[in-house]
Amino acid sequence: MPVQNRGCVTARPTAHLWDLPRFNAAPAPEAEAALLECFGSHGWAQRLAAHRPYPDVEALLAAADEAVYDLSPTDHAEALAVEASPGLRPDAPRSAHLALAAAHAEYERKFGHVFVICLDGYPPAEHPDQVLAGIRARLAHEEERERAVTADEMRRLARGRLSALVSSR
């Protein structure tokens, strides 16, 4: 099931994985481009690139969390605009595709953006159920509550993607 995340389950394609020393030493435009693959806010990417070098991955992740918390609603909207809704494997039953498409459509109608969820800790076999359950539960949220939940899911996605980016695998 392709999910709109990198470190949390499935990575979006990136040109390469870096280790932390390479990330710290990269020219700012290269570092920013790599960071935009983790979280689609230019302000976030510029802030993290500008504060290099980071002594360790945990310091980078803490800075990434802090930068997400400091973003404006416009920055969050910019990041959300490049996310894709989680889907199912092509071989899933048609009824499952239809149910998920309807749930996504209702979510997007109500909140005006794609549904995002980080699936860290869930085995791939549970992803479809978690996505459907997440959409259904979050459709009951008021707009302000859902904005906060979405921001936290985006932070978790960025954290996982960033961690994968600077891993030396």
Answer whether residue 103 shows pLDDT above 60.
yes
Distance CA 19, CA 163 (A): 10
pTM: 0.85
Say which residues have a Cβ less than 8 Å from residue 38's Cβ, sequence separation at least 6.
6, 64, 158, 161, 162, 165
pLDDT value for 3? 38
Instruction: State both tokens at 15.
Output: 């040109």
| pLDDT per residue as tens digits for the range 10-61 | 334 444 578 999 999 999 999 999 999 999 999 999 999 999 999 999 999 9
**Residue 131: pLDDT band with limits 50, 70, 90:** very high
pLDDT value for 168? 59
**SS3 (DSSP) at 87:** coil
Burial class (CB in 10 A: 0-12, 13-18, 19+), 91: exposed
**Residue 7: pLDDT band with limits 50, 70, 90:** very low
Answer whether residue 6 shows pLDDT above 60.
no
pLDDT value for 32? 96
For the chain, give the percent of residues with pLDDT over 70. Answer: 89
